[in-house]
Structure 1
Amino acid sequence: MSDLRETFIAWELGWAASRDLPPAHLVEGGMRIECRQQSRDVEIFALHADDDPDSLVRLAELLRAETESAWLTVPTREPERAAATLEAAGLEFVSRVEALMETDLRTQPVRAVAAPYRLHTEVTGPVVHVSVEAADGEEAARGYAGLIGTAAVADRILTAEAHRRRSLGAAVMTALADAAVTAGATRGLLIGSVEGQALYRSLGWSTVATVLIAKLPE
């Protein structure tokens, strides 16, 4: 079983690379990053939810002290206990069902795009960008990966509504894995939504932990 703290830190580094974010800074029990995303300006990541449950209480207080919109993201193998602690600390959930997942990129099944779709891969520094173009030139699917050491973090995997159920997401994941392995990565990491988890499991990804996301009540 993967070491959860190490795995999550590797995910955060790759996620930040994928989005060209500044480095996160350590805080007591976790990390804090000024991420400036559409849904929040700051994100705090818990690193010890399972071995030190009280750390979540302290991180909730840090969240409460933020002057900008902020999330507390908690990877855990004991989601019910962690959720109860967060609720007792007065937080509400953005999500309780996301999953931290991993795979060996070298063994991920291969899925190709079928005509008339065309796939493009671009690697710029630590970022892999894959896009699938439809016959009319519009973007049908896309995805990114942030490269950090021997890990690649898949991020922002999206298929346009009109082009779903055509295995385009799987083709994007194949292309991301191919580019990452070429760059020296062997380990794939991601945080997947409920909808995405089915796709990733079909490609051999396994769940490392549940990911809870909480914020202050509106």
Structure 2
Amino acid sequence: MALATTTDAVRAWTQGWAVSRGSADPVPQPWGVTIDIGLAQAVSRHVLFDRYASDEATVTKLVRPDAAPGTWVKFVEPPEAVAPWMPDNWEYDTPGHLMTLPLVPGTAAPDVPPGHTLRTWTRAGLTKVLVLAADGGLGVRGQVAVTGRTAVIDQVETNPLHRRKGLGTLVMRTLEACAAEQGAEDCVLGATDEGRALYTTLGWHRVSPLTGIFRPTPPSP
């Protein structure tokens, strides 16, 4: 299934993200979806599909000064497009990028570098990949959630001590291969600026910016 539009991509991303993070299923809304997360710092997340980002009535209803702490709103827009809606008591998350990749069945992952160990396991629809360094510590990790014909790669983390060794490429290609083996035809992810640089070299395409804003939770007394 090709992700023909930004809305297709962000819808697929929210479905897989919910599986990856163990949150509630996304609840469809007229303007996008709501995902209940249930953490003190992130109680719920509203994700606006692209055509609603400039709808003043919709945005101001979600982004209110009196919204509950731990409320998040995600836009497929750059920060400057979101700025007019920002109350003083909300904050920006790290800027991101929505990216997609068509999967090629049968693509093999690269060889594991000498001295490293690759492990994979799957629980409840979520596949995790871990590369251990020679000393047994974390090299790099990541996970992929397959929801039908699309998959979401999430929480890719590289130990700063083991960067520039090809481990990020190893994990990404392994996650992509795992997704293809489970029947996925397209992958989606939300990337940081640093991650975008790597993923672009691996053939990923940037669909749109991602801007998250949130009402922070007051510190404990």
Seen in structure 2, the aligned counterparts of structure 1 residues 167 and 11 have a Cα distance that, compared at 3 Å, is same
Residue 23 of structure 1 corresponds to 25
Show structure 1 runs of 5+ residues with no match: none
In the alignment, structure 1 residue 41 sits paired with structure 2 residue 43? yes
TM-score (norm 2): 0.85
How far does residue 81 in structure 1 lie from its aligned partner after superposition? 6.0
Amino acid at match of 1:146: A
Question: Which residues of 2 match residues 71-86 of structure 1 at below 5 A?
Answer: 71-76=72-77, 79=78, 82-86=81-85
- Greater than 6 Å deviation, 4+ residue runs: none
Letter in 1 for 2:193: V
Q: Partner residue of 2:192?
A: 193
- In 2 relative to 1, CA 205–35 (structure 1 residues): closer, same or farther, beyond 3 Å? same
Q: 1:10 to 1:92 in 2, by over 3 A?
A: same
Give 1:89 shift.
Answer: 8.5
Structure 1 position 37, deviation (Å)? 4.8
Partner in structure 2 of residue 58 of structure 1: 61
Which runs of structure 2 are paired with 1:133-148 in the superposition (5 Å)? Answer: 133-148=132-147
Q: In structure 2, what is the equivalent of residue 122 of structure 1? A: 121
Aligned amino acid, residue 19 of structure 1 = R
Does the aligned pair in 1 maintain the 2:143–2:155 contact within 8 Å?
yes
Which is worse superposed, 164-173 or 38-47?
38-47
Q: Aligned equivalents of 2:110 and 2:85: distance in 1?
A: 40
SS in 1 for 2:156: strand
Give the gaps of 5 or more residues in structure 2.
none
Structure-1 separation of matches of 2:164 and 2:40:
28
Partner Cα distance (1:153, 1:100) in 2? 11
Give the drift of 1:6.
Answer: 1.9
Match of 1:106 among 104, 108, 123: 104
Q: How does 1:80-95 map to 2 (within 5 A)?
A: 82-87=81-86, 91-95=90-94
Contact 1:50 1:82 in 2 (8 A): no
Kindly indicate whether residue 16 of structure 2 is the aligned counterpart of residue 14 of structure 1.
yes
Once the two structures are superposed, residues 111-151 of structure 1 have per-residue CA deviations (whole angstroms, 9 ceiling, x without a partner) of 43311111112122311100001122222110001111111
Asked if the contact 1:117/1:133 (under 8 Å) is kept, the reply is yes
Return the letter of the residue paired with 2:32: G
